[in-house]
Amino acid sequence: MMKTVLSGWGALNSALLSAIDARPIAILDHLASLGSVVSCYPAFAVYSAMLLAAAVASGRRPFSLSPAQALDSASRWIGILANFFISFPIGVALASLLESLGAFPGPVVAHEGAAMLGPGAADWGPRGGHVLLATILAASLWPILGHGRRIIAAAFVSWVCVSQVRVGASFPGEVALYCLMGLVIVRLVRNCLWRLREFS
């Protein structure tokens, strides 16, 4: 069942995979490899540090905000940090559960850009942790982003999604599943945090 949903779709999944990974193109392969590096699980620590630094920096703006605005800004950043720190471990746990439910052959690793994934990338599934991290990061930040920065956040997630297919690590169906899963997790965690805030 899982194989049918994530790597099936009739001919559509294979067609999308072939379109994205049709032939080796050096610049696209390098960009795809970079997209995999910036969204690997160890990057969670880097993004956590960056978010903490941004939160601290926002609290040090010299008298540019009224007390009410400063309190609202601090509250928003606390919510963002809490959402990111809670959502990602939940996502990892769910990803591990999916991987334990069944394995199926993944896309054939077609070029050197995917060598870092190792031979196991072609043998088991589902695989979408990179997409999960990118989606949770962007979705956690979404409430404080302006229109232009939301476009950048969406482009970042799209880059990671396409990169995972390009390097032969995931089927488009797997990418779609993990992206949707990340969005749902962040939304549910945000709603829970909001209810806790109201209750307190």
38-53 residue pLDDT tens: 888 889 999 999 999 9
Domain borders along the chain are 23-199
CB 92, CB 41: distance < 8 Å: yes
How many beta carbons lie within 10 A of that of residue 11, not counting itself? Answer: 9
pLDDT averaged over every residue in the chain: 76
How many beta carbons lie within 10 A of that of residue 142, not counting itself? Answer: 18
pTM: 0.77
Dihedral sign of CA atoms 27, 116, 110, 15 in order = negative
CB 175, CB 164: distance < 8 Å: yes
pLDDT higher at 182 or 36: 182
Mean pLDDT of 3-15: 52
CB 73, CB 65: distance < 8 Å: yes
CB 83, CB 189: distance < 8 Å: yes
